[in-house]
Amino acid sequence: MASQEEPIQPTYRGYGTIAPQRPAQRQRRHSWHTRPCMQEAENFQLLLRNFLVELNCRMDFLEDYGHVKYDAGVEYAYNTLLAVRESCSKISDGAIEAGRRQASVFVETLEGRYKDAMERKETLGEKVLEGIVLMDNYLTEFETRAYAIRDGSIGSYAQEFYEEGRRKMDEGIEIAKGVVDGGLDKARRARETIELRVEHAVQRALERAKAHGLIHYEDLPEPWRVNPHILKGYRFQEGKWACVRSIFGLHNELINIWTHLLGFIMVLAIAFYFYPSSANFSMSTKADIFIAAVFFFAACKCLACSTIWHTMNSISHQTLLERFACVDYTGISLLVAASIMTTEYAAFYCEPVSRWSYMCITALLGVGGVILPWHPTFNRADMAWLRVLFYCSLALTGFLPFGQLAYTRGVAWAQYFYAPVTKSLLVYVTGALLYASKTPERFFPGFFDYVGCSHNIWHVAVLGGIIFHYMAMQTMFTQALTRAQTSCSVY
């Protein structure tokens, strides 16, 4: 039986190179290993020819993995393989004595590179066999490295892909950061430019106000310009006390200030004199009086906040100007919410669950109306229609109980109940529409600068709405107290 033992690899090489360490088992076997040594010695030419054919195939395989890296000694061996293939391939297969010539060239090539290894053999056949063993060892080592490259290529490519993606992402982040930083820097510079421009305009307006007392619309800095149809009569003071003292002077805010200042005194008189003297007051419970007190408080707060705003809107500090405006809007929100709550309280006087449910919803909407005006957009001059829409929508929520009342007591009863509040509602809506549309001054700019402008009308409408609602509240409370005398058994 033919021997399957591996040929022994030489432990030395010529020219100072170090022989590679062979594994205990070969990774692959070739056909020429299966022959006995004597048979191989006799047929070394055929064996060499077969080896050279296989050498070409295996070298092509190695060349497909061009990423294999060699140290100096291994690279010398690889170059030897290339030299053997090149020198032996020049001999034509059809030439006479081609086999022996290939063997001679094969041995000469190896002796020129590994002289010590080849000198141990005497005959040409033995040297051919020794060279084949030596070359096969190198081929096996190179194939091992190539397989390792192939097995690790997926991981290495994935790592390269990850690193490249990470690098691209970092570059994108840096670019985005630069864009954002640049945008923020531009926004900051633009804001600083606007602030500087406003500051210069404030100084110019103060100088004109000191020189002339009252100034014109075009003299005002941009944030102070609200109604372009009111052309003259503007105050512009540097301090708060100057604004307060101006309530006794003649200017275009005089009517706005005094309509609500006098209205504030009127509501106090109603709350502390006329209401306690009414027939309903003696019949009212503490809860009834508390609900009425909430309405009076909201009305007084609305009128007081409005008076403060129109007194202080000539202050030359923009931050204070915007805060006083927000105070005015919060007063309106509380008045609308309190008016609705009195209606809901009277409508469901005998139904505590429905009463408190509707009143809690209205209270939450009122809180929202107090918070919303503090948003910078809400106070812009071009948002007048939005403000009117918001307050009208808030007022219309007072009619949400209408459906339940119409269902439980009939449509006629619900209409009869809400009839008293229609007067105040019509007054509010009319004043709000005139305020938002800036009528009548938009048709006669400069004619209504001191008296009769839309804001004057709006102030009178607010005061009238408060008084009309007080009268409606008295009527609704009278009906509620009448129902209570029957213990609300009908409903």
- Give residue-wise pLDDT tens across range 223-235: 999 999 999 999 9
CA distances, 171 to each of 23, 127, 163, 178, 434 (Å): 47, 61, 12, 10, 57
Residue 125 banded pLDDT, cuts 50, 70, 90: confident
How many percent of the chain have pLDDT more than 70?
A: 79
Exposure letters 57-75 (e unless 16+ CB within 10 A, then b): ebbeebeebeeeeeeeebe
3-state secondary structure 237-287: ECCHHHHHHHHHCCCCCHHHHHHHHHHHHHHHHHHHHHCCCCHHHHHCCHH
| pTM to 2 decimal places | 0.62
Structural domains in the chain (count): 2
The verdict on residue 422 lying in a domain is yes
Q: Which of 146, 165, 184 is the last residue of a domain?
A: 165
pLDDT tens track for 379-429: 777 777 888 788 888 888 888 999 999 999 999 999 999 999 999 999 998
Written as one letter, the residue type at 142 is F
Q: Mean of the pLDDT values across residues 97-126? A: 74
| pLDDT at position 278 | 95
Q: Mean of the pLDDT values across residues 83-90? A: 76
The verdict on residue 191 lying in a domain is no
| pLDDT at position 311 | 98
Residue 298 in this model has a pLDDT that exceeds 70: yes
Residue 7 in this model has a pLDDT that exceeds 50: no
pLDDT tens track for 131-165: 788 788 877 877 777 777 666 555 565 666 667 77
CB 67 within 8 A of CB 93: no
Q: Is 310 labelled a binding residue?
A: yes
CB 113 within 8 A of CB 77: no
| pLDDT at position 11 | 38
The verdict on residue 309 lying in a domain is yes
Q: Mean of the pLDDT values across residues 256-267? A: 98
Residues 223 and 159 grouped into a single domain: no
Tokens coding 425:
């509602």
Residue 90's domain spans which residues? 14-165
Q: Which of 149, 165, 181 is the last residue of a domain?
A: 165
Measured between alpha carbons, how far is 220 from 236 in angstroms, rounded to an integer?
A: 8
| pLDDT at position 111 | 74
Q: Is 216 labelled a binding residue?
A: no
Q: Which helix (H) or strand (E) holds 192?
A: helix 124-212
Residues 358 and 418 grouped into a single domain: yes
Residues 355 and 260 grouped into a single domain: yes
pLDDT tens track for 328-359: 989 999 999 999 999 999 999 999 999 999 99
Written as one letter, the residue type at 253 is E
